[in-house]
Structure 1
């Protein structure tokens, strides 16, 4: 209760949050109260930091600031006030589109809105704190525990600290102090650049000017002004300069969720936003950037409605938003969703953007203001004068320089900033004048000259460091923190920002706690430079992925991640649902490991020409204890071995494309297996807990299971069960978990009854020991359903999976791997029962969810995709089916050999689809490849029957009916009774059709005779005669008719036929499905 009250207080008074943030900030100061950076909360006379106790005092200071500036309004000020008055005047939503002249080269220098961008970046990161890490907060067992406890308070406090709270506290005072120096026609916020480098040892020694009055500053000032007036304000700035992941509708929605949560009074269980957040937190542990926009926006829209407030939403740099990507909306859909929420809450929105064709419709339907260069120019010149003075350039040249700015800047602060920076690098007056005479024609040329000038100023080591930094910052998949870069590049942490800024300015900025390109035009400059294959700057972006892959692997291979105690903590937590990871086990804060953990394989597989050193690093990693640490940690994030398997699939395709000598440097066939063999041996020799080696072996068995390697899995599973049973007894939850896995081994071997019996035994004990709300119980329930399914008891299987789905939904949420797996199997069951359309919809839903979470390389989703192709084929949608299955064939060919079950089954399925579509030659080519490449296909008799069946149909299609009948008849005749199977039953059906179609002497009798020994009489009046005597015609006809109904998935009609003839199946096991990589065993059928 105290935690809830604390949260309520925090939400009602920002000062409370600031106070706690200051306390945590002070705790990090090594010198304590004697530190110059220490903020004294008990007094009000701090010389450098004078925190306001209440948020309203800050608002009052902002209003005072505004009143002082009221008499000094330039053109921008008048425009701003006009916008503000419009916002207040209308009660309905006013959509304001503010544009800059297209000739204003690249908008406004990125540092113009540095202070304002802090708020946007903090908001953008907020949802990462709430959603991404929610999965680690006890796996989000209850969202109320997240939103109504000390955890949320700490998360919000962390955001305040990230924003450098002492800046926020005295920010208004600094604005007031420097505003006095502005010219009459300017509205410029000039702040010391010390605000951007507070982690520097001597922040007050660096002076600079924050250029203002551009689009971004205007957006930021409007936010300040509305907030000071007491309006509920939301703000977001698209920041492509930081990262493409910060410039999508998804990042916008994430930021709004974070801001709306901070302004809310808490969520209660059962509300729409509550349930949606819980699901998203569980489903997307790697961050909201992997979530579809419509899912995040549904949460934001719900929060808008339930807030009961009218908001002023300010969106800056809309032109930097990227709308072309998977799960992203188009511009029209995005604006429609935004405007709908705004209208429903009677809120207001202002959009700042460069003019773009895609915004034409929005301009026509909204109030729009066009910022022309004539309006900007007076303030640009004022800014240039101030910047010139700060640079200490000679007064004798000022007028000429300002005239150059007036005639050549086209109203661009960015151009003026870069030009003056370029002049400031001159060492002599003659050099200054030379630079003035060779006026750069574009911002891109200014960037080029800035880089080239460093050749004379920096040593070779510094140039190499600058090159690596620029390449890494450009290609990083999320903004990096200075501490992360310091860790990756071995820089002194306390000097990292100074080094980065000194080497890379003005192309790179380090404000807001992140390192990123200072403006979108910098990224555009590098993209054009890379596209043109220009080498004049000595920077190559072609190996940027290789550089980051190398840095990632260096971090992953750190010796601290080979520590057995750390691996032990994750290993136990992954096998015991009640265990938790020790707090000292995760990587230290600020290390590069967090980035490397998520993106090492992303960068590696995009490295086109990897060095030998990089290839050796990869090999060292996948064969190391550090790999086991990464694997167990990723299992905590994603559940099961999903991340491990996705990485393997990506690596396998990439490895296959390497030159042969490079392939030899990576022992990919030992992926996972070697690391866990080493781990189990290390636990054996360490004399730690005796169960640890067996848990490592159990995990290795899980990998064999996912990779479909029964020959390796079977002995390991049985050995692990024996080991745990000897240590813990037969009823320990870990022993039962191991027994459940051994039961699945029985399915591999076709021992369905034994498997089903074992699952029933385990479930009975787990229900009593753990209860039905245990994830172990629910997992066993799902596998029990599979044992029923493979025995063709589809009704029982569907009932079991329904129970499993309901339990998993309540315990883990709708997007957990176990729920999705149960849904997949449920869909297979209902499809075999004839509900193909329902099954198809569920399959497609599972694929969408898995790929949204784990990307296009997710093995689980790809297997389900093959099933979609089979259902499409059964529904007669042959072209769709072929396209679907062909995509999966290309995927499996890059990973598995032809002899592997997964690839073999998918190849057979594609050949069947080709045959159904009349593509005889293409189908026959696959059949011949299978016959030549698999080896002893008869050892996999069900698949041998499928291939023989398919080949017979292809021969018949080409007119070789005699050859087709001969092949199929031999397949039936040569099969032993215990080899009878579902595929052989369907051969009998199509063989009968071909025999009757040929209608030679004896063909009709042979067609019927092939159904001998399929059914048995149960009337009680039947005399079976001699043991080897053939079945009478009545039994043969009943068998054939019932079989045709079963193949058509008309199980009720088949049972009715059997009952009417008073017969039953002689061996129900004839209909059992065989374990493998595809779903449907009933695809083959010749037209009657």
Structure 2
């Protein structure tokens, strides 16, 4: 825990933005003491004296010195014995410093200890932060505000009197007005549950309703020119004393200040410009010609300085400004050098920012940002007449810069891609030292900037399409894999691009080809490696990852073909007992699992896992993945106890080799939960699945295909437990996600739609269930051979709907025809539940012959080896026992069904027709609300 505490604290503290961390310069040259106009203001005195029922807002126009005043107020309150926690939003730095989450990050940094000792309540907070830390540690600024704020309340409740001081809340980035309202509610929560006060500094804001009305609210103080003029002049006098000017020169400066210094920002920029003067001519020009407002200052810099540059330098400055406007996190100066293609180690970016871009840009501790929030307003105001400085311009520039960086020649190197590929498959070590600087940003954010654009340039779309089809894409993909067998970063990028592309015009959509995403560059990569012939393994490693991509996307036919080819190739090249050949053989065996050839799958996985452990020893994680597949076969063959034992071995292995947060461990946990629920422990299964779901969401957010699968399993268990809320809040968004990416006829979407239809029916929402069934009948591709079982389920659901609507003959006819038409080789578990429900319907109808027909449905279900009547109908006793055994099986009582057959000296005639089939997850028409005829009170 000591190490975790330190790591968590270091992670969040690096992103904290307390008021004291604002870059310092001339604007804090004056005293730290608060100005008299504020300390004597009646509203401020009232706030100081009493517990204010709401936050105190201090509002001023841009450049009025709010940040200076915030710093002075923080210092004064601290010196007078108050505990002060501060935060400053900074839109001029990056979107990272604008997000709502930056506020609780700053508060937590100030409330949590950086080292031991740690009090119990602080330990509890650290413990609760662990999931968020595990998920977001590479990009903690993306951690949702809602995950962090409750921890702030917990810690603040332990404090006595304190002041929470927030600067520049108007610079906070909100997705909608509701988020601003929620933030105000959070502030009220602090005041209601603690002994603290809150003071907020802001520009006028319609969003919050402060500074924009003719009469200020009772909890608002407005900064006026009359209030600040003495402070501005004192600040100027203090700064002027440090400038090495003659008395005459200082008089000239003072005269100009007395005339135009109506805010701190203008005065600061004026004095900074004078500081750079080396000649009297320059000094005189600044004093006489410097614009008399801050907007004029920015315009002058743009016109006089940037416009006078040659095209190359002007372009560099403009692109630098656009990058800073759109940055998703703060840039280091060397990242700008790299992104702009400047000469390495030349310091050109540093020279340009300090020479040409002042005072629009500032550099502080090696980090680059806009110098003030008003610079953002100026650049995006439209006064420049440059269309690139529009709301979409920064994202367009950064998308282009990221893509141009990703396709640099070095990232198409076969050697570099091969090193990454070997590392990710576990066959080598990669040195990623050359991938720092701007590559990390480009790899993480290229598609985010691209998909932020509603109408991207044709050339940008062509550039994106080029990247998607180069070998460089393969390097990016391998760079993005952070855990064995986890393609989530690659797949979430594809999903985001696919959803976004649907919003483009037909012409634009035709310029970016996503139908061969991943597939084209990896097939090309395998071909290039094959032609190279220096390393004969690499072509198979490339195809191994292509096979995994097909698996992850549910393209089973292509997966089987590629994996068979890889297994044969590596076996011939390396021998059957080489670790890579064994891994490829285990991958290839998965198709037996998918095709429901479960005995063969279980046998192959058992043999391969044993050999993998013999060859690789207990620290080779590949055998534990194989054990998960073996357990899946055992679970589908209705042997939950054996599956649980196998999964226990797998979990222990993953825990020891890869750790409890690894992809492998979570996969094993998922299947353990499913098998455990099948063994009758549904509530335990739910708790474990919730843990897996939450960990995946924490790591990858809501668009994680593994997390979505877990959600559907979880929702179906909630359904079986009778919780409609728990079921629907998991299943509904999961189906929405899958439908946005896969067609309805894809087995992953089809299964999920069936799960939802069953759920609706179970909870009496018949119309919604019927609507789904009708859509599946029309667009579900039920005529395909791979969907035979699902077609049986859809017809079963249709018949139940008709039966409960009173259409007995029609519902019975549908199920009778289904059983007649189905080929014996396609008999399956879903048809056993059809037989049970049809038998009930026939008996409920009660016509002549219905009872005999109901019993005859169970002919051929059980047998005995000694007295099987071959082509003769089964004896009535067998029919009765078969029906009873199926009813036990339907309730999940596999042991009870087998015991019944054992006592009667019978066995299942075709055990494989009882097995479950692989789905993610498959719909279960066995465990659902049974049919009930009108007036039937016997159920």
> TM-score if structure 1 supplies the norm length?
0.69
Once the two structures are TM-superposed, the CA of residue 559 in structure 1 deviates from its matched residue by 0.7
Once the two structures are TM-superposed, the CA of residue 597 in structure 1 deviates from its matched residue by 0.6
- Distance in 2 (CA, whole Å) between partners of 1:837 and 1:535 is 63
Aligned to 1:969: 816
Aligned to 2:60: 103
CA contact under 8 A between 1:109 and 1:417: conserved in structure 2? no
Q: What is the aligned counterpart of 1:1013 among 846, 860, 865? A: 860
- Tell me, yes or no, if structure 1 residue 475 matches structure 2 residue 326: yes
Q: What is the aligned counterpart of 1:1049 among 892, 901, 925? A: 892
Query: How has the CA–CA distance of structure 1 residues 689 and 934 changed in structure 2, closer, same or farther, with 3 Å as cutoff?
Result: same
- Tell me, yes or no, if structure 1 residue 547 matches structure 2 residue 397: yes
Q: What is the aligned counterpart of 1:956 among 803, 817, 824? A: 803
Aligned to 1:517: 370
Query: How has the CA–CA distance of structure 1 residues 538 and 662 changed in structure 2, closer, same or farther, with 3 Å as cutoff?
Result: closer
Once the two structures are TM-superposed, the CA of residue 487 in structure 1 deviates from its matched residue by 2.5
Aligned to 2:70: 215
CA contact under 8 A between 1:279 and 1:813: conserved in structure 2? no
CA contact under 8 A between 2:64 and 2:228: conserved in structure 1? no
CA contact under 8 A between 1:549 and 1:603: conserved in structure 2? yes
CA contact under 8 A between 2:387 and 2:393: conserved in structure 1? no
Once the two structures are TM-superposed, the CA of residue 400 in structure 1 deviates from its matched residue by 5.7
Aligned to 1:580: 429
- Tell me, yes or no, if structure 1 residue 843 matches structure 2 residue 689: yes
The farther-off stretch of 791-800 and 253-262 is 253-262
Once the two structures are TM-superposed, the CA of residue 925 in structure 1 deviates from its matched residue by 6.1
Once the two structures are TM-superposed, the CA of residue 642 in structure 1 deviates from its matched residue by 1.6
- Tell me, yes or no, if structure 1 residue 566 matches structure 2 residue 416: yes
The within-5 A match list for 1:1030-1045 is: 1030-1045=873-888
The within-5 A match list for 1:47-446 is: 101-103=58-60, 105=62, 108=65, 213-216=68-71, 237-247=88-98, 250-251=101-102, 264=115, 283-284=135-136, 286-291=138-143, 317=167, 319=169, 353=201, 377-385=229-237, 401-404=256-259, 409=262, 412-414=263-265, 416-417=267-268
Query: How has the CA–CA distance of structure 1 residues 1026 and 633 changed in structure 2, closer, same or farther, with 3 Å as cutoff?
Result: same
- Distance in 2 (CA, whole Å) between partners of 1:559 and 1:73 is 53
SS across alignment from 1:852 = helix
Query: How has the CA–CA distance of structure 1 residues 254 and 455 changed in structure 2, closer, same or farther, with 3 Å as cutoff?
Result: closer
Once the two structures are TM-superposed, the CA of residue 645 in structure 1 deviates from its matched residue by 1.1
Higher relative contact order (CA 8 A, sep 6+): 1
Q: Deviations over 1:946-982 (max 9, x none)?
A: 1221222233344433222222112112333332211
Query: How has the CA–CA distance of structure 1 residues 707 and 285 changed in structure 2, closer, same or farther, with 3 Å as cutoff?
Result: farther
- Distance in 2 (CA, whole Å) between partners of 1:338 and 1:405 is 41
The farther-off stretch of 916-925 and 711-720 is 916-925
SS across alignment from 1:668 = coil
- Tell me, yes or no, if structure 1 residue 1078 matches structure 2 residue 924: no
CA contact under 8 A between 2:881 and 2:901: conserved in structure 1? yes
Once the two structures are TM-superposed, the CA of residue 488 in structure 1 deviates from its matched residue by 2.2
Aligned to 2:338: 487
Query: How has the CA–CA distance of structure 1 residues 606 and 1027 changed in structure 2, closer, same or farther, with 3 Å as cutoff?
Result: same
The farther-off stretch of 927-936 and 689-698 is 927-936
Aligned to 1:743: 589
Aligned to 1:17: none
- Distance in 1 (CA, whole Å) between partners of 2:456 and 2:223 is 49
Q: Deviations over 1:227-268 (max 9, x none)?
A: xx9x9999865434312323557546667888999963799x
Query: How has the CA–CA distance of structure 1 residues 843 and 73 changed in structure 2, closer, same or farther, with 3 Å as cutoff?
Result: closer
SS across alignment from 1:515 = strand
Q: What is the aligned counterpart of 2:557 among 687, 711, 725? A: 711
Once the two structures are TM-superposed, the CA of residue 537 in structure 1 deviates from its matched residue by 8.0
Q: Deviations over 1:285-322 (max 9, x none)?
A: 533234466877999999999xxx99999976384695
The farther-off stretch of 533-542 and 548-557 is 533-542
Query: How has the CA–CA distance of structure 1 residues 813 and 445 changed in structure 2, closer, same or farther, with 3 Å as cutoff?
Result: farther
SS across alignment from 1:1028 = coil
- Distance in 2 (CA, whole Å) between partners of 1:405 and 1:768 is 83
Query: How has the CA–CA distance of structure 1 residues 540 and 232 changed in structure 2, closer, same or farther, with 3 Å as cutoff?
Result: closer
SS across alignment from 2:482 = helix
CA contact under 8 A between 2:842 and 2:854: conserved in structure 1? yes
CA contact under 8 A between 1:942 and 1:983: conserved in structure 2? yes
Q: Deviations over 1:623-670 (max 9, x none)?
A: 211111111111136862121111111122222333333333333222
Once the two structures are TM-superposed, the CA of residue 823 in structure 1 deviates from its matched residue by 2.1
Q: Deviations over 1:4-28 (max 9, x none)?
A: 9xx9xxx9xxxxxxxxxxxxxxxxx
Once the two structures are TM-superposed, the CA of residue 505 in structure 1 deviates from its matched residue by 4.0
Aligned to 1:129: none
Size of the aligned set, in residue pairs, is 871
Aligned to 2:742: 896
CA contact under 8 A between 1:501 and 1:509: conserved in structure 2? yes
- Distance in 2 (CA, whole Å) between partners of 1:1002 and 1:253 is 73
SS across alignment from 1:665 = coil
- Distance in 2 (CA, whole Å) between partners of 1:245 and 1:482 is 17
Aligned to 1:18: none
Query: How has the CA–CA distance of structure 1 residues 689 and 423 changed in structure 2, closer, same or farther, with 3 Å as cutoff?
Result: closer
Once the two structures are TM-superposed, the CA of residue 496 in structure 1 deviates from its matched residue by 1.1
Aligned to 2:658: 812
Once the two structures are TM-superposed, the CA of residue 711 in structure 1 deviates from its matched residue by 0.9
- Distance in 2 (CA, whole Å) between partners of 1:936 and 1:798 is 36
The farther-off stretch of 688-697 and 567-576 is 688-697
- Tell me, yes or no, if structure 1 residue 611 matches structure 2 residue 457: yes
CA contact under 8 A between 2:783 and 2:791: conserved in structure 1? no
SS across alignment from 1:669 = coil
CA contact under 8 A between 1:380 and 1:413: conserved in structure 2? yes
- Tell me, yes or no, if structure 1 residue 756 matches structure 2 residue 602: yes
Uncovered stretches (5+) of structure 2, i.e. residues with no partner: 11-28, 40-50, 211-218, 933-939
Q: Deviations over 1:916-965 (max 9, x none)?
A: 54444773565355445627334532112112212222333444332222
- Tell me, yes or no, if structure 1 residue 1024 matches structure 2 residue 867: yes
Q: Deviations over 1:877-908 (max 9, x none)?
A: 44764565443333333322333222222233
Aligned to 2:830: 983
Aligned to 1:945: 792
- Distance in 1 (CA, whole Å) between partners of 2:567 and 2:160 is 61
Query: How has the CA–CA distance of structure 1 residues 935 and 763 changed in structure 2, closer, same or farther, with 3 Å as cutoff?
Result: closer
Aligned to 2:570: 724
Q: What is the RMSD of the two structures over their aligned residues, measured on CA atoms?
A: 5.1
Q: Deviations over 1:102-148 (max 9, x none)?
A: 235456387xxxxxxxxxxxxxxxxxxxxxxxxxxxxxxxxxxxxxx
Once the two structures are TM-superposed, the CA of residue 495 in structure 1 deviates from its matched residue by 2.2
- Distance in 2 (CA, whole Å) between partners of 1:450 and 1:391 is 24
The farther-off stretch of 548-557 and 389-398 is 389-398
